[in-house]
Amino acid sequence: MKRREFLKYAGAFAGGGMAVLVVGNKIPWVMKGPGSASAAVVQSLNFHISDIMKEMGTHNAENDARCYFWTYRSVVPDYPPECPGPVIMVTKGDTVDISVTNDLDEPHAFYIPGMVDSGPILPTQTWTASFIANKSGAHLYYDNLNEPVNRMMGLHGALIVRPDAPALGHNFTPYDNPTAHVQDIFDSFGTEVYPGLKWEEGDPLTNCPPFRQNLWLLHQASPRLFAEVGSLPAGALYDPVEFMDKFLKGPFKVNNSSISNDPSYGPQYFTINGQSGFFSHFSPWVTPMSRVGEPVVVHILNAGLWTHSMHMHANHFYITSINGEPNPNPIWVDVYTVHAMDAIDYTVPFMRIPDVPNLRGIGRPDTPLLSEKGLPAYPCVEEFEVYLPGSGEEIAQDINGSSIDLKQRQSPLCYPVHDHSEPSQTSQGGNYNTGMIAGMYIVGDRNMPGSMDFPMDEDFALAFENIRGHQSTDQAAPPIGGQHAVP
């Protein structure tokens, strides 16, 4: 790898990850939604294809957890290189001007099925073109040369196209031609079926953005195999059959860490939007944080070679789109299989958690039953005052030697999202819970008087501010025990 210019992007995880490029001025709501701190409005795209040595989520002074990648990097605006590439957001029908320069020493490409195909871009050459965002939904852009090597090495990203208008007399959906059942689901948001807000409806008074959506761009990385690809002589191509055989069929090794003398060729890092573990849990583009009554769409794109089954606690969800086509039978499930190169949409109603005892017991906004202490089972006022660990039970020290109480309030209601393909929950062959994980956080209830916001301690309130896109002087939620001025 000495022939390449390495760029060490320190803090790739701690910084929150993905850049967002909003093309044009038709969707200003993006600048107030999840991930807005890393978003920029542009009139064209200017990418360079380059490489990076990235510090992964488990990297520290005593544990070498780095991996070599190729990447699409935005140079206007000038963002640090990252894998995956920037999220591109645009409105259907818009024309997108793009320029891609190849800074590596083998041919590469930029490809979106059905929209644009650069063909081979030779080393040092620049390709320029325009394409029309002709289909709403979430799309993978990637390098389709030497398939799947170039894509797996990191040359991929997400394009999200929003419809320019809803169907006449109906609510917005994320799709151009929703099936009848998908349209019915979105029409039910903001009604007695799913009381609260429509998907496209925001509420500035309670800091709720419209068109709430999250992205899960799935990927797997092998430090040993990716290093071999990067070490080839200039212009040489890695055999894709050999690449897939090593990546998918490499023998199991007990000591599979990247710091071992002979690691496996199999993947050691499993990421969502380039993040994993704690850092994906708190990434604004990964974990949905909303109130009951604020539905969210999760776009899942699997850029890797593994199959994943993303399981969500707290709510079931509707499968509203499969590989770019609205689903004629949007089943209601809590886990769904996402194969390599699949594009799947989860539409999450953000209803009351179904195991809260009430008159009907299925998560509906009914009168709650009473606990043994005579308190309502919902909102969970008894649990809100529980700390795990408790006060004084776990004490740590910060970098200055000051004591930190690690007590954690059980509010808001935080639930995990994890892959049922269990090896993906790890990093470096171990370190459980440092892999492909996310969450679903219920931070309040629009339908429960006096419960617009559940209690938040300072640490969580800061994360919520970042996710809802507020300035540091804004108040993401009222003081603990307080309420917003609106019901």
Write down the pLDDT at residue 408. Answer: 87
Of the candidates 135, 170, 205, which is a domain's last residue?
170
Write down the pLDDT at residue 480. Answer: 38
Q: What is the mean pLDDT of the chain?
A: 86
* Mean pLDDT of the 398-402 span: 84
pLDDT bin (cut points 50, 70, 90) of residue 124 is very high
Q: Cite the beta strand spans of 273-374 per DSSP E.
A: 289-292, 296-302, 308-312, 317-322, 325-326, 332-333, 335-338, 343-348
Q: What is the pLDDT of residues 3-42, one digit of tens each?
A: 233 222 222 222 235 788 999 766 655 555 555 556 788 9
Instruction: Give, as one character, the DSSP assignment of residue 369.
Output: P
In a domain, 482, yes or no: no
Same domain, 72 and 130: yes
Supply the range of the domain harboring residue 458. 180-216+274-467
* Of the candidate ranges 30-44, 123-137, 328-342, 371-385, the one whose mean pLDDT is the lowest: 30-44
Write down the pLDDT at residue 29. Answer: 53
Write down the pLDDT at residue 463. Answer: 64
Same domain, 70 and 204: no
* Mean pLDDT of the 159-173 span: 95
Q: Max CA-CA distance within the chain?
A: 73
Write down the pLDDT at residue 401. Answer: 87
Q: What is the pLDDT of residues 311-335, one digit of tens each?
A: 999 999 999 999 999 999 999 999 9
Q: What is the pLDDT of residues 182-234, one digit of tens each?
A: 999 999 999 999 999 999 999 989 889 899 999 999 999 999 999 999 999 99
In a domain, 255, yes or no: no
* Of the candidate ranges 52-56, 281-285, 482-486, the one whose mean pLDDT is the lowest: 482-486
Same domain, 206 and 131: no
pLDDT above 80 for 461: no
Q: How many domains does the chain have?
A: 2
Alpha-carbon span 40 to 317, nearest angstrom? 31
| Percent above pLDDT 90 for the chain | 62
- Taking CA atoms, 304 is separated from 165, 248, 264, 335, in Å, by 33, 11, 17, 19
Q: What are phi and psi of 224, to 5 degrees?
A: -70, -45
* Of the candidate ranges 21-30, 73-82, 256-265, 417-426, the one whose mean pLDDT is the lowest: 256-265
Write down the pLDDT at residue 295. Answer: 98
Nearest to 56 by CA among 419, 467, 434, 463: 434
Write down the pLDDT at residue 336. Answer: 98
Write down the pLDDT at residue 340. Answer: 98
Return the SS3 of 188. helix
Write down the pLDDT at residue 93. Answer: 94
In a domain, 231, yes or no: no
| Strand pairing report for 45-55 and 66-74 | antiparallel
Run of H or E residues at 150: helix 149-152
In a domain, 175, yes or no: no
Same domain, 155 and 208: no
Q: What is the pLDDT of residues 351-364, one digit of tens each?
A: 998 888 888 877 77
Write down the pLDDT at residue 311. Answer: 97
CATH number for 36: 2.60.40.420
Same domain, 157 and 24: yes
Instruction: Indicate left, alpha or beta for 462 from its phi (over 0: left) and psi (-120 to 50: alpha).
Output: alpha
pLDDT above 70 for 92: yes
* Mean pLDDT of the 448-457 span: 88
In a domain, 96, yes or no: yes
Nearest to 486 by CA among 454, 456, 449, 441: 449
Write down the pLDDT at residue 457. Answer: 83
Alpha-carbon span 97 to 459, nearest angstrom? 41
Helix 240-249 to helix 223-230 angle (10° resolution) is 160
In a domain, 285, yes or no: yes
* Mean pLDDT of the 286-303 span: 95
Same domain, 126 and 208: no
Angle, CA 161 vertex, CA 159 and CA 164 arms, to 5°: 165
Same domain, 289 and 148: no
Same domain, 75 and 129: yes
66 close to 53: Cβ distance less than 8 angstroms: yes
Q: Which two tokens stand for residue 109?
A: 């490409």
pLDDT above 50 for 481: no
pLDDT above 80 for 260: no
